[in-house]
Protein backbone atom coordinates (compact mmCIF):
# COMPACT_ATOMS: atom_id res chain seq x y z
CA UNK A 1 0.00 0.00 0.00
CA UNK A 2 1.35 3.42 -0.99
CA UNK A 3 1.80 6.24 1.52
CA UNK A 4 1.45 8.77 -1.30
CA UNK A 5 -0.66 11.84 -0.53
CA UNK A 6 -3.82 12.36 -2.51
CA UNK A 7 -5.10 15.65 -3.86
CA UNK A 8 -7.20 17.52 -1.39
CA UNK A 9 -5.71 15.91 1.71
CA UNK A 10 -4.59 18.56 4.21
CA UNK A 11 -0.83 18.97 4.57
CA UNK A 12 0.99 18.51 7.86
CA UNK A 13 1.11 22.29 8.18
CA UNK A 14 -2.65 22.59 7.61
CA UNK A 15 -3.14 20.06 10.43
CA UNK A 16 -0.92 21.86 12.97
CA UNK A 17 -2.53 23.17 16.15
CA UNK A 18 -3.68 26.78 15.72
CA UNK A 19 -1.06 28.25 18.07
CA UNK A 20 1.84 26.57 16.24
CA UNK A 21 0.42 27.44 12.84
CA UNK A 22 0.00 31.09 13.91
CA UNK A 23 3.63 31.16 15.05
CA UNK A 24 4.69 29.64 11.72
CA UNK A 25 2.81 32.34 9.80
CA UNK A 26 4.37 35.08 11.93
CA UNK A 27 7.84 33.65 11.37
CA UNK A 28 7.27 33.47 7.61
CA UNK A 29 6.17 37.12 7.58
CA UNK A 30 9.36 38.17 9.36
CA UNK A 31 11.81 38.67 6.50
CA UNK A 32 14.78 38.60 8.92
CA UNK A 33 14.13 34.92 9.73
CA UNK A 34 15.42 32.35 7.23
CA UNK A 35 13.35 29.34 6.21
CA UNK A 36 15.89 27.10 7.92
CA UNK A 37 15.33 28.99 11.19
CA UNK A 38 11.56 28.82 10.68
CA UNK A 39 11.79 25.06 10.15
CA UNK A 40 13.89 24.58 13.29
CA UNK A 41 11.65 26.78 15.47
CA UNK A 42 8.40 25.21 14.29
CA UNK A 43 9.68 21.66 14.68
CA UNK A 44 10.86 22.60 18.19
CA UNK A 45 7.32 23.87 18.95
CA UNK A 46 5.88 20.62 17.58
CA UNK A 47 8.25 18.59 19.78
CA UNK A 48 7.46 20.74 22.85
CA UNK A 49 3.72 20.25 22.22
CA UNK A 50 4.28 16.50 22.54
CA UNK A 51 3.29 15.75 18.96
CA UNK A 52 4.81 12.63 17.35
CA UNK A 53 7.94 12.79 15.20
CA UNK A 54 5.80 12.13 12.09
CA UNK A 55 4.15 15.53 12.59
CA UNK A 56 7.41 17.42 12.09
CA UNK A 57 7.38 19.41 8.89
CA UNK A 58 9.92 18.88 6.13
CA UNK A 59 11.95 21.47 4.32
CA UNK A 60 10.01 20.85 1.08
CA UNK A 61 6.66 21.01 2.90
CA UNK A 62 7.63 24.31 4.48
CA UNK A 63 8.81 25.62 1.12
CA UNK A 64 5.52 24.65 -0.57
CA UNK A 65 3.55 26.32 2.22
CA UNK A 66 5.73 29.47 2.14
CA UNK A 67 5.31 29.67 -1.64
CA UNK A 68 1.53 29.26 -1.31
CA UNK A 69 1.40 31.95 1.39
CA UNK A 70 3.50 34.31 -0.75
CA UNK A 71 1.16 33.75 -3.71
CA UNK A 72 -1.92 34.42 -1.60
CA UNK A 73 -0.24 37.46 -0.07
CA UNK A 74 0.61 38.91 -3.47
CA UNK A 75 -2.97 38.36 -4.68
CA UNK A 76 -4.31 40.15 -1.62
CA UNK A 77 -1.87 43.01 -2.19
CA UNK A 78 -2.87 43.24 -5.86
CA UNK A 79 -6.56 43.30 -4.89
CA UNK A 80 -5.88 46.07 -2.37
CA UNK A 81 -4.01 48.12 -4.97
CA UNK A 82 -6.76 47.69 -7.57
CA UNK A 83 -9.41 48.57 -4.99
CA UNK A 84 -7.44 51.64 -3.95
CA UNK A 85 -7.17 52.77 -7.57
CA UNK A 86 -10.93 52.38 -8.08
CA UNK A 87 -11.74 54.14 -4.83
CA UNK A 88 -9.31 56.95 -5.72
CA UNK A 89 -10.92 57.26 -9.14
CA UNK A 90 -14.51 57.03 -7.91
CA UNK A 91 -14.06 58.57 -4.48
CA UNK A 92 -15.89 61.80 -5.29
CA UNK A 93 -18.64 60.09 -7.23
CA UNK A 94 -21.90 58.73 -5.85
CA UNK A 95 -21.60 55.49 -3.92
CA UNK A 96 -23.79 53.86 -6.55
CA UNK A 97 -20.88 54.01 -8.97
CA UNK A 98 -18.58 52.23 -6.52
CA UNK A 99 -21.27 49.59 -5.91
CA UNK A 100 -21.64 49.02 -9.64
CA UNK A 101 -17.88 48.52 -10.03
CA UNK A 102 -17.74 46.08 -7.10
CA UNK A 103 -20.72 44.11 -8.43
CA UNK A 104 -19.09 43.90 -11.85
CA UNK A 105 -15.81 42.73 -10.27
CA UNK A 106 -17.64 39.91 -8.44
CA UNK A 107 -19.44 38.92 -11.64
CA UNK A 108 -16.07 38.75 -13.42
CA UNK A 109 -14.57 36.62 -10.64
CA UNK A 110 -17.53 34.22 -10.80
CA UNK A 111 -17.17 33.95 -14.59
CA UNK A 112 -13.43 33.27 -14.22
CA UNK A 113 -14.12 30.45 -11.74
CA UNK A 114 -16.69 28.82 -14.02
CA UNK A 115 -14.28 29.12 -16.94
CA UNK A 116 -11.44 27.51 -14.95
CA UNK A 117 -13.71 24.64 -13.90
CA UNK A 118 -14.92 24.02 -17.43
CA UNK A 119 -11.35 24.11 -18.80
CA UNK A 120 -10.11 21.67 -16.18
CA UNK A 121 -12.31 18.94 -17.59
CA UNK A 122 -13.66 18.12 -14.14
CA UNK A 123 -17.37 17.86 -13.57
CA UNK A 124 -18.84 21.00 -12.07
CA UNK A 125 -20.31 20.06 -8.69
CA UNK A 126 -24.07 20.73 -8.42
CA UNK A 127 -23.47 22.51 -5.10
CA UNK A 128 -21.13 24.96 -6.85
CA UNK A 129 -23.75 25.64 -9.53
CA UNK A 130 -26.40 26.24 -6.86
CA UNK A 131 -24.13 28.56 -4.85
CA UNK A 132 -23.18 30.44 -8.00
CA UNK A 133 -26.85 30.86 -8.97
CA UNK A 134 -27.68 32.16 -5.49
CA UNK A 135 -24.68 34.48 -5.63
CA UNK A 136 -25.69 35.87 -9.04
CA UNK A 137 -29.25 36.36 -7.80
CA UNK A 138 -27.96 38.30 -4.78
CA UNK A 139 -25.70 40.40 -7.01
CA UNK A 140 -28.61 41.28 -9.28
CA UNK A 141 -30.75 42.18 -6.27
CA UNK A 142 -27.94 44.34 -4.88
CA UNK A 143 -27.56 46.07 -8.26
CA UNK A 144 -31.30 46.75 -8.41
CA UNK A 145 -31.38 48.06 -4.85
CA UNK A 146 -28.31 50.21 -5.51
CA UNK A 147 -29.96 51.76 -8.59
CA UNK A 148 -33.20 52.33 -6.68
CA UNK A 149 -31.33 53.94 -3.77
CA UNK A 150 -29.37 56.16 -6.16
CA UNK A 151 -32.62 57.36 -7.80
CA UNK A 152 -34.14 58.10 -4.39
CA UNK A 153 -31.05 60.09 -3.37
CA UNK A 154 -31.11 62.08 -6.61
CA UNK A 155 -34.84 62.79 -6.21
CA UNK A 156 -34.33 63.98 -2.62
CA UNK A 157 -31.42 66.19 -3.71
CA UNK A 158 -33.50 67.67 -6.55
CA UNK A 159 -36.39 68.38 -4.17
CA UNK A 160 -34.03 70.02 -1.71
CA UNK A 161 -32.42 72.10 -4.48
CA UNK A 162 -35.85 73.13 -5.82
CA UNK A 163 -37.03 74.15 -2.37
CA UNK A 164 -33.86 76.15 -1.79
CA UNK A 165 -34.11 77.81 -5.22
CA UNK A 166 -37.74 78.78 -4.52
CA UNK A 167 -36.72 80.31 -1.17
CA UNK A 168 -33.89 82.28 -2.80
CA UNK A 169 -36.19 83.43 -5.62
CA UNK A 170 -38.81 84.67 -3.13
CA UNK A 171 -36.12 86.42 -1.07
CA UNK A 172 -34.89 88.12 -4.26
CA UNK A 173 -38.38 89.53 -4.84
CA UNK A 174 -39.80 87.03 -7.29
CA UNK A 175 -43.52 86.37 -7.03
CA UNK A 176 -44.79 83.14 -5.48
CA UNK A 177 -45.84 82.00 -8.96
CA UNK A 178 -42.36 82.72 -10.34
CA UNK A 179 -40.71 80.82 -7.48
CA UNK A 180 -43.12 77.90 -8.00
CA UNK A 181 -42.27 77.88 -11.73
CA UNK A 182 -38.51 77.65 -10.93
CA UNK A 183 -39.22 74.80 -8.51
CA UNK A 184 -41.22 72.90 -11.17
CA UNK A 185 -38.44 73.42 -13.73
CA UNK A 186 -35.83 71.98 -11.37
CA UNK A 187 -38.01 68.99 -10.54
CA UNK A 188 -38.78 68.42 -14.23
CA UNK A 189 -42.53 68.82 -13.87
CA UNK A 190 -42.91 72.11 -15.76
3-state DSSP of the chain: CCCCCCCCCCCCCCCCCHHHHHHHHHHHHCCCCCHHHHHHHHHHHHHHCCCCHHHCCCHHHHHHHHHHHHHHHHHHHHHHHHHHHHHHHHCCCCHHHHHHHHHHHHHHHHHHHHHHHHHHCCCCCHHHHHHHHHHHHHHHHHHHHHHHHHHHHHHHHHHHHHHHHHHHHHHCCCCHHHHHHHHHHHHCCC
Taking each helix axis from N to C terminus, what angle separates 176-187 and 126-171, rounded to the nearest 10 degrees? 160
Q: What does the angle CA 19 – CA 71 – CA 33 come to, to the nearest 5 degrees?
A: 50
* Residue-level pLDDT at 3: 47
Region of residue 100 (left: phi > 0; alpha: psi -120 to 50; beta: else): alpha
* Residue-level pLDDT at 39: 93
Q: Do the Cβ atoms of 62 and 39 come closer than 8 Å? A: yes
Instruction: Give 130's contacts (C-beta < 8 A, 6+ positions apart).
Output: none
* Residue-level pLDDT at 60: 92
Cα(58)–Cα(188) distance, integer angstroms = 72
Cα(82)–Cα(32) distance, integer angstroms = 29
Question: pLDDT per position in the chain (190 positions), as tens?
Answer: 444 444 567 788 888 888 998 899 899 888 899 999 999 999 999 999 998 988 899 999 999 988 888 887 787 777 777 767 766 665 555 455 666 677 777 777 777 777 777 777 777 778 877 887 888 788 778 778 877 888 888 888 888 888 888 788 778 887 878 777 777 777 777 5
Amino acid sequence: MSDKRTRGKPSKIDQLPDDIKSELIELLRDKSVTQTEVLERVNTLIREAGLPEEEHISRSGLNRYATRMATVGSRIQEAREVSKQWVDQLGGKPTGEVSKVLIEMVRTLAFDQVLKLSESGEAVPPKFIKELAVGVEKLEKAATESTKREKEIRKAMAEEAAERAAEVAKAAGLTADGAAQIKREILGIA
